[in-house]
């Protein structure tokens, strides 16, 4: 481990600290801050020449500042002659903008991939991308980890029975099917459509039977919680006895916390790919740490072991 250095920006230092604790190494020393004119300054304080370096930075709020910090840190490491630079992005923002689904709109997820590569990243380590095809936007190796084992292990201990796993839309149905298989539960799918470019959706139908069962909704992220609260009410209206929810990325923007508090959802199980702090830390939200998952992946990348084997062993 002597030749490895792990650095963090300002987006989620607590997660980065937990990762280096797992690895048993000190945090890399750096300065990352904004001047009064909002220009970002980065200085790497450790010798990184020919070292294997990792920068941990989820693209969480303030999203654009977090992205720019990562890009500047990568550039600083490249100019300091780092041997290999791995961008560790637990939450990859702009993942929904992965295709040109309207006239004259960008594919921002691809733009971010180009920016990371141009800055000097040699590989990407991330968790549960919104769409698997985002991996193809990169011309560098991409390791996408899954928080599924972490979430399902916790849910199994809850002994929810009889349980039905519910995909919150058709796009997440494959991931939800895998959840259902791990929990030995049937699958239902909520059919919905997004209304324009606003964070509003309309539930059209439930595919599958939820009557008399405890429902567990599955999604990759919860943003404004509008879809979640609509799904909860729809499931209860269709005979579900209770509703729990889980996701990897707790974006929880805008009215999300107020909506969750005011809804009938019993518990929302999330991970710490994004920090859940302050007013977001409410009793209904349970946060599981991905530090050991990221730490093990970083160890395997550094030592040349298989990252995929982490999931084959489950």
219 marked among binding-site residues: yes
DSSP 170: G
Helix (H, G, I), strand (E, B) or coil at 69: helix
- The answer on 273 and 193 residing in a single domain is yes
The yes-or-no answer on residue 192 being catalytic is yes
Of 223, 282, 225, 230, nearest to 249 by C-alpha is: 223
| pLDDT of residue 19 exceeding 70 | yes
Give 241 or 192, the one with higher predicted confidence.
241
- Evaluate if residue 116 carries a pLDDT over 90: yes
- Domain span at 104: 4-146+291-312
Distance CA 120, CA 78 (A): 6
Strands 84-89 and 123-127: parallel
- Summarize the confidence of residues 300-312 as an average pLDDT: 92
The domain that contains 91 carries what CATH number?
Answer: 3.40.50.2020
Radius of gyration, CA atoms only, the chain: 20
Strands in 187-194's sheet, in edge-to-edge order, are 201-207, 187-194, 163-167, 214-222, 242-250, 268-271, 285-288
Q: Please confirm whether the linkage preceding 305 is cis (ω < 30° from 0).
A: no
* 176 labeled part of a ligand binding site: no
pLDDT given at position 170: 85
Tell me the pLDDT tens digit for each residue of 199-214.
Answer: 566 666 899 999 999 9
pLDDT in tens, 240-256: 999 999 999 999 999 99
Per-residue pLDDT for 1 more than 50? no
Does 130 appear as a known binding residue? yes
pLDDT digits (tens, 9 = 90+) for 34-70: 999 999 999 999 999 999 999 999 999 999 999 999 9
Domain count, the chain: 2
pLDDT of residue 203: 60
**Same domain as 242, residue 301:** no
Task: Give yes or no for residue 196 having a pLDDT over 70.
Answer: no
Q: Exposed, middle or buried, 115 (CB in 10 Å: 0-12/13-18/19+)?
A: middle
Marked catalytic residue, from 156, 157, 174, 192: 192
């Amino acid at each position: 481990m002597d030749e490895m250095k792990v650095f963090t920006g300002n987006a989620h230092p607590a997660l980065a600290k937990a990762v280096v604790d797992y690895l048993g190494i000190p945090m890399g020393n750096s300065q990352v801050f904004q001047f009064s004119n909002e220009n970002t300054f980065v200085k790497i304080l450790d010798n990184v020449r020919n070292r294997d370096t990792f920068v941990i930075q989820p693209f969480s709020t303030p999203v654009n500042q977090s992205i720019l910090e990562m890009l500047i840190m990568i550039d600083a490491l490249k100019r300091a002659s780092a041997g290999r630079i791995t961008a560790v992005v637990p939450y990859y923002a702009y993942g929904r903008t992965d295709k040109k689904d309207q006239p004259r709109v960008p594919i921002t997820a691809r733009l971010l991939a180009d920016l990371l590569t141009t800055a000097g990243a040699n590989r990407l380590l991330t968790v549960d991308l919104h769409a698997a095809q985002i991996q193809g936007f990169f011309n560098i190796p991409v390791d996408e980890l899954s928080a599924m084992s972490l979430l399902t292990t916790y849910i199994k201990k809850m002994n929810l029975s009889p349980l039905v796993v519910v995909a919150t839309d058709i796009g997440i149905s494959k991931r939800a099917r895998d959840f259902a298989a791990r929990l030995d539960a049937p699958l239902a799918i909520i059919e919905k459509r997004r209304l324009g470019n606003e964070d509003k959706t309309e539930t059209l139908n439930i595919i599958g039977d939820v009557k008399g069962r405890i429902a567990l909704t599955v999604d990759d992220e919860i943003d404004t919680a509008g879809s979640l609260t609509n799904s909860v009410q729809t499931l209860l209206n269709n005979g579900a006895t209770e509703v729990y929810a889980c996701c990897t990325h707790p974006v929880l923007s805008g009215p999300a916390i107020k909506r969750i508090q005011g809804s009938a959802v019993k518990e929302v199980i999330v991970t710490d790919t994004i920090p859940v702090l302050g007013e977001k830390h409410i009793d209904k939200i349970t946060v599981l740490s991905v530090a050991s998952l990221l730490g093990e992946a970083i160890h395997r990348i550094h030592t040349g072991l298989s990252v995929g084997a982490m999931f084959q062993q489950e």
